[in-house]
Amino acid sequence: MTDAHVCLGWRELSQMSIYLFFYLAWATWRIETGGHTEALNMMEVVEGGIQTTVQDYPGRVGFLDLGMYPAGPMDHLAFRFANLLVGNPLGAAALEVTLGGFKARFDRHCVIAVTGAPMPVTVNGVEVPMWQSFEVKPGDLLTLGMAKTGGFRAYVAIHGGIDVPEYMGSHATFTVGGFGGFEGRGLKKGDRVQLKLTPFSQKLVGRALRKELVPTYSFEWEIEAMRGPQADPDYMAAEDMEFFFSHSWKVDRNSNRMGIRLEPHKWQWARETGGVAGGHPSNILDNGYAVWTVNMCGDQPIILTADGPSLGGFICNATLIHASSWKAGQLVPGRDHVKFKEVTIDEAIAMARALETSISETNIVRG
Amino acid sequence: MKGREHTNRAVIDRLPKSGERPEVIYRYAGDRFILLEYGDMVLDLRTNFRIFGLNDAIKKARIDGVIETVPALRSMLIHYDSLKLEPAHLVDILKQLESDVPPVESLIIHSRRIELPIAFEDRYTRADIERYVKYTRQDAPNIINGHNIEYIALYNGLSSKQQVIDYICSTQWWNACIGFWPGLPFMFPLDPRYAIVAPKYNPTRPWTPEGAVGIGGPCVAIYPVASPGGYQLFGRTLPIFDLQQRNPAFKDNPILLRATDRVEWQPVSDDKLEVLRAKVFDGSYRYKIVSYEAFHVKSYLKFLDSIKDEVAEFQRKQADAAKSAPVP
């Protein structure tokens, strides 16, 4: 052993300072981005709430002939606005929080936006606005309180998105089949959900949606729909359709991501029976169901939603249009009322075009 | 078309019956789907064959804006992007394609033949039926000696349980469509001499084991997962849905069956089925799937013609039996 090995000269010190510089740069980067390790890039669920699922848009499309409804967000409008606010691709994996009661802690420094049904949103107990992106630091606790003033579902988008495995091309949770999303189920206390590795970006903080574009959530809804596929005069009576489009329907308590049940009604029908398909005049030989259609299950109308059945033997007398189907996702079971407003195909397409155009950077302002 | 809007706003257009092709009605199902309905509300597999002919034509045409199709018994649902493809234009294309579909008797449909083992009156369906009697309906007329098969015999005028089993195993079952739940097949007998029917449970059964096989009306289904159900049960087969994709048959996705498959039943003992099911999950079982076969509608129709009298005879006996059989 020689002295050279134990003495620290200027040379060694300058070498060490280079190491120190690199170490500090790495540590800073690691803190800023959440680092490259899993442990520092997670969201820990503190309270799961009633039902909080990972969804993406448009969901698992292309498997309808194998019996798979697309899953995805129940409110595709608020969902995409949330992603827009944090600078994600509009369909990126984000959280759907049903009614509220969701709490999570974040390992990394990130930008988050919450949209949809008004819920009190706080970071470490300090209120933050909805429809506007905000910053969350490592260790911060995000809380969504309960929706009380109307609307049923809120969306939490995190810049970079949620990193759950794709199943059949999508991150969406299909609650009925128990697959997709995070382990095919709603989030529970203690779950550690991986986030996509993305550097923190200050310029994404404070982005807000123009006020006039923020939807109103009430207890009384009007949802635009088109007549058909099976309406009057061949399947239902003209009076039935008149009633359907004028009545204020109470949303049944027993509604979920599969379907939204409305109250049963004594219909006139156009046919005596379903013939070969069954005794009840709502019966037909099984056919594919459009997503967001109104299924007449015997005497009870059910709006078939994201996780619904793909095919069956009941008529569908009306179908929600794309520009309005998101409203169905905001109906509060057992409380809200809904009226259906009939529109033509041209009106539906014009509304869809306007809606799609509105989900754009031009509608983002500094909050 | 303008005038028609007032009488039936759900209908976009109609294509009148022509030759052997029934009338086609094009219906709005919102602004992203249209539904095609064929002919009258009758169960006629020829219509279903024709729909697969159209399905092939749609796929070959690669129409920009068409996202997917759902062929069913006498209908076809089409999912499309109305911001890219105007519905009226889509209907024009579809009407045009109808004339490209060959006459049904010259259709050759790609159709896999799949042999599935079945344990009739197995222990799992038996247990769920027992629970139904205990907790749901004690006097259910569709349950005789703890199962549904003897009731099916009664309802169809067959002499014994064994005859029901023979009938089920004597015909191939045509999978006309998949749906309701992921992977659930809707199958119909290709040989109408063995076309048993049965009314559904009333009330429905809260439990059905995964892999259960049963009949409702003329349609036979396999339950992809444990679920409530209304069909009269035969027994149990192998899994047709496996999320964990533990067998090569589920390599691409968790769903075994496709529309246009033909299923043949191979009776096995309850114990043998258990062994086979275990092999499915350890990955060593090879499902018996012949995938290169085609279904020639022409020879099938010729076959139907040759057995007309026997079919009429069976249907007459069947109708008589159904009249005197109790309905749940």
Chain mean position to CA B226 = 19
What tens digit of pLDDT does each residue of B27-73 get? 999 999 999 999 998 989 999 999 999 999 999 999 999 999 999 99
Q: Are A286 and B73 in contact (CB under 8 A)?
A: yes
Percent of chain B with pLDDT over 70: 98
Task: Please report residues of B whose CB lies closer than 8 A to that of A165.
Answer: none
Q: Are A174 and A180 in contact (CB under 8 A)?
A: yes
Handedness of CA A62, A286, B254, A156 (dihedral sign): positive
pLDDT at A275: 81
- Residue ranges per structural domain of chain A: 38-209, 220-362
pLDDT at A106: 96
In this structure, what token pair is assigned to residue A144?
């969504």
Rounded Cα–Cα distance for residues B41 and B52 (Å): 18
What tens digit of pLDDT does each residue of A239-291 get? 999 999 999 999 999 999 999 999 999 999 999 988 888 778 999 999 999 99
* Domains present along chain B, CATH in parentheses: 2-102 (3.30.1360.40), 113-324 (2.40.100.10)
pLDDT (average), residues A37-41: 66
**Eight-class DSSP state of B252:** S
Q: Are A121 and A102 in contact (CB under 8 A)?
A: no
Question: ω before B254 within 30° of 0 (cis)?
Answer: no
Beta bridge partners of A251: A262
pTM: 0.91
Residue A162: helix, strand or coil by DSSP? strand
Strands A337-342 and A220-227 turn out to be parallel
In this structure, what token pair is assigned to residue A48?
């799961």
Between A197 and A267, residue with greater pLDDT = A267
pLDDT at A23: 63
First to last CA, chain A: 66
Contact A65 B69 (CB under 8 A): yes
Residue B151: helix, strand or coil by DSSP? helix
Residues recorded for chain B? 328
pLDDT (average), residues B80-98: 98
Token pair 């995000």 is found at A142
Task: Please report residues of B whose CB lies closer than 8 A to that of A311.
Answer: 70, 72, 177-180, 186
What value does the mean pLDDT of chain A take? 92
| A34 has a pLDDT exceeding 50 | no
pLDDT at B280: 98
Contact B29 A319 (CB under 8 A): yes
Chain A segment 59-118 residues within 8 A of B by beta carbon are 61-68
- For B68, the closest chain A residue by CA position comes to A62
Rounded Cα–Cα distance for residues A195 and B25 (Å): 48
pLDDT (average), residues B290-314: 97
Chain B segment 83-142 residues within 8 A of A by beta carbon are 83, 87
For B76: left if phi > 0, alpha if psi spans -120 to 50, otherwise beta; the answer is beta
* Nearest-10 Cα torsion for A262, A267, A273, A275: -50
The matching CATH number, chosen from 1.10.150.130, 2.40.10.10, 2.40.100.10, 3.90.650.10, for A220-362 is 2.40.100.10
Number of neighbouring beta carbons within 10 Å of residue A18: 9
Q: Are A16 and A71 in contact (CB under 8 A)?
A: no
- For B251, the closest chain A residue by CA position comes to A168
Contact B82 A348 (CB under 8 A): yes
Instruction: Say yes or no: B8 contacts chain A, CB-CB below 8 A.
Output: yes
Contact B72 A320 (CB under 8 A): no
Band the pLDDT of A21: cuts 50, 70, 90: low
Token pair 């997709």 is found at A180
| A117 has a pLDDT exceeding 80 | yes
pLDDT (average), residues B270-286: 98
Percent of chain B with pLDDT over 90: 93
Residues recorded for chain A? 367
